[in-house]
Amino acid sequence: MKCPHCSISFHENWQDNEITRDGKRSVWRIRLAACPTCKKDILELGKIKVPTKVVKGDSALEAFANLMPELEWRQVFPLTSSRGPAPKEVPQHIAKDYTEACGVLPISPKAAAALARRCLQAILHGQGYKDRDLAKEIDLVLNENDPSKGLPLSLRDMIDGVRNFGNFSAHPITDRTSLQVIDVEPHEAEWCLEIVEEMFQHFYVQPAVRAERKAALNAKLQAAGKPLTK
Ligand SMILES: [Zn+2]
């Protein structure tokens, strides 16, 4: 995981504790990790995902909790994200939505996912992929015929996976609805931001690096009196 304080990656070293009430188990847990680099603590609050039909008094809850329950974790300290800022090559209106998505991620994954989806859409529009809704625009970029515009395989897989998010397919994401808040799991919002970050690299950072290298090469060729590269 990436430390939300100093952004340096470290091996997850969670210590997990139950939260009890009057000596009885609750659906809540708390876990603590310490960053080996900056020594600061990270706290996550966990909630056991209990199917409603199972909750019928403490004993059923306890029985369920004993079966290695599935937990939904949310960062509660610090209330900031290690993500961002956007690379300088990213157009400002997109960078702004991305920064805001990162900022609200620990508080509202739904709001973060909505902003991340708007970033995705803005990136695709900027590249000329425009259709009725985001799912159709994803089709356009995945079916790109121009090999020079082809996406790397890893990014293709990630973008393709966007369509499988929670209620995504039931809610067409258009210009008008891109900020609509729909149910997402916390990890879906993070994943959406990861895709946006990969797209930043592919569509903005790498072309800028290539252009810079070409300019440097041409400067050398020109100095040597040789023909320039195209
Ligand atoms: Zn740290």
Same domain, 98 and 62: no
Same domain, 69 and 98: no
* 191 assigned to some structural domain: yes
What tens-digit pLDDT sequence spans the chain (230 residues)? 888 888 788 999 999 999 999 989 888 999 999 999 999 999 999 998 765 454 455 566 666 555 666 788 888 888 877 787 899 999 999 999 999 999 888 788 888 888 988 999 999 999 999 998 888 888 899 998 888 888 888 889 888 887 766 455 555 666 666 666 666 666 788 888 999 999 999 999 999 999 999 999 999 999 988 888 87
Same domain, 96 and 73: no
Closest CA to 133 of 119, 146, 121, 116: 121
* 72 assigned to some structural domain: yes
Same domain, 161 and 133: yes
Same domain, 105 and 171: yes
Q: How many domains does the chain have?
A: 2
CB-based contacts of 209, cutoff 8 Å, min separation 6: none
Same domain, 53 and 110: no
pLDDT value of residue 165: 65
Q: What is the Å distance from ligand 1's center to 197 Cα?
A: 21
- What DSSP character marks residue 132? S
Q: Are strands 24-34 and 71-77 parallel, antiparallel or unpaired?
A: unpaired
Same domain, 101 and 178: yes
> In degrees rounded to 5, what are phi and psi of residue 62?
-65, -40
* 164 assigned to some structural domain: yes
Range of the domain at 65: 15-77
Residues with CB under 5 A from ligand 1 (ion): 3, 5-6, 35, 37-38
* 53 assigned to some structural domain: yes
User: Could you tell me how far CA 15 lies from the centroid of its own chain?
Assistant: 25
* 66 assigned to some structural domain: yes
Q: What is the Å distance from ligand 1's center to 215 Cα?
A: 38
Q: What is the Å distance from ligand 1's center to 192 Cα?
A: 23
Same domain, 72 and 102: no
Residue 18 and residue 25 in contact, taking contact as beta carbons nearer than 8 Å? yes
* 223 assigned to some structural domain: no
Gap between the Cα atoms of 173 and 177, Å rounded: 5
pLDDT value of residue 167: 53
Q: What is the Å distance from ligand 1's center to 162 Cα?
A: 30
pLDDT value of residue 135: 84
Q: What is the Å distance from ligand 1's center to 203 Cα?
A: 30
Gap between the Cα atoms of 118 and 196, Å rounded: 10
pLDDT value of residue 195: 92
Same domain, 72 and 109: no
Instruction: Cis check for the bond before 36: say yes or no (omega within 30 of 0).
Output: no
Q: What is the Å distance from ligand 1's center to 2 Cα?
A: 8
What interhelical angle do 186-200 and 153-162 show, nearest 10? 140
Same domain, 112 and 177: yes
Q: What is the Å distance from ligand 1's center to 103 Cα?
A: 17
Which secondary-structure segment (H or E) carries 18?
strand 15-21
Q: What is the Å distance from ligand 1's center to 7 Cα?
A: 6
Same domain, 73 and 113: no
Q: Is 149 helix (H, G, I), strand (E, B) or coil?
A: helix
Q: What is the Å distance from ligand 1's center to 13 Cα?
A: 13
Question: Domain containing 138 — which CATH number?
Answer: 1.20.120
Tokens, residue 214: 């070409």
Same domain, 39 and 125: no
Q: What is the Å distance from ligand 1's center to 83 Cα?
A: 13
Q: What is the Å distance from ligand 1's center to 82 Cα?
A: 9
pLDDT value of residue 171: 59
* 217 assigned to some structural domain: no
